[in-house]
Amino acid sequence: MQTPRDGDIDGRMPHWTLRNQAAEYNRLQEENFNHKMRIHFLEDQLIRLNNGDTVFGSEEMEAEVGRLRSALEDRDRQLAEQDASMTRAAQALDLLQEQLREAQAATARAEPTTQRERRLAVDNNDAEALRAKLESVVEESSLQVRELQLELRAAKENVETPSKQVEYAQENYTRDVDITEKVKERYQQLCEYHKSYIDKLREEVAHVRRMMKGKDELVETLRDEVDSLWQRKEQEGREHTAALTRISNKTEELRLEEERCHADWYATCAKLEENLLARNKDLVREVRKLKR
């Protein structure tokens, strides 16, 4: 009986032996396991990225900007208070300067009045007392003017210092706003990058799943073919075993038949030999009789 060759099953998969089929099946199982591990890793990355593990510090930056804005508002209030103080000091200085001018004019008017009083024989002591009083008023007014000028200068310096601080704070605020904008822009870029990366991961997961599906189908096909091949080989083995059993039985029958044939042949030969000997003896006796 002619049996099909290994690897020639219904015209499919030529030159594939049982060993090759089993090796390919094991390889696909290992590759399938590796793909499943890869999917688990990719899904874990997707979960981590969707949970927002990345921190960019934008909240701290916004808090710092808020503190700077609060400090700037405090400086603005201090500046407004200093401006009000300077305005009041300037008004007081103008008032004192006006009083000083009036006192100086009164002093100037007092000199000719004194001369007339002298000419009119007015008491000199009263004139001196008036002059001294006017000079005292002028000196006191001058002192107040100088004090107010010093206070005004100090107020200007105090105003300039907060102004510089406010300017510095504004520069810091502007710089921090720029940094915040850059951080937001970078955050947006990273978000877009992460979205693109997540999309790629999802595509890769989908691709791996499609590959796994194809591998699973191929594994199932190979498993079915291996099972079919094993069944065919087992059937052929059973048929071969039955044929060998029949051949062995037939051989035994032929051997026994041969032994019987040999026994019959030996018996026939012995009988023929015995008959020939008896015939020979008869011929000898007949010959002897003829000679007599």
Cβ–Cβ under 8 Å, residues 114 and 127:
yes
Cβ–Cβ under 8 Å, residues 14 and 8:
yes
The pLDDT value recorded for residue 92 is 64
The pLDDT value recorded for residue 80 is 61
Alpha carbons 208 and 216: distance in angstroms, whole number: 12
| Domain definitions of the chain by residue range | 34-218
Cβ–Cβ under 8 Å, residues 72 and 169:
yes
229: buried, middle or exposed (CB in 10 Å: 19+, 13-18, 0-12)?
buried
Tokens for 264?
């019959």
Spell out, as residue ranges, where the chain has pLDDT lower than 70: 1-90, 92-94, 96-97, 99-100, 103-177, 180, 183, 292
How many Cα neighbours within 13 Å face the side chain of 108?
Answer: 6
pLDDT in tens, 265-286: 888 888 888 888 888 787 878 7
Tokens 């990058």 belong to 193
The pLDDT value recorded for residue 73 is 63
pLDDT in tens, 89-107: 567 666 766 766 776 666 6
The DSSP-derived string for 213-265 is: HHHHHHHHHHHHHHHHHHHHHHHHHHHHHHHHHHHHHHHHHHHHHHHHHHHHH
Cβ–Cβ under 8 Å, residues 215 and 35:
yes
Q: Coil, strand, or helix at residue 9?
A: strand
Alpha carbons 257 and 108: distance in angstroms, whole number: 178
Q: Any bridge partners for residue 12, and if so which?
A: 9
The pLDDT value recorded for residue 265 is 85
pTM of the model: 0.29
The pLDDT value recorded for residue 107 is 60
Select from 3.40.50.300, 2.60.40.10, 1.10.287.1490, 3.20.20.450 the CATH code of 34-218. 1.10.287.1490
Nearest CA to 28 out of 169, 209, 216 is that of: 216
The pLDDT value recorded for residue 89 is 58
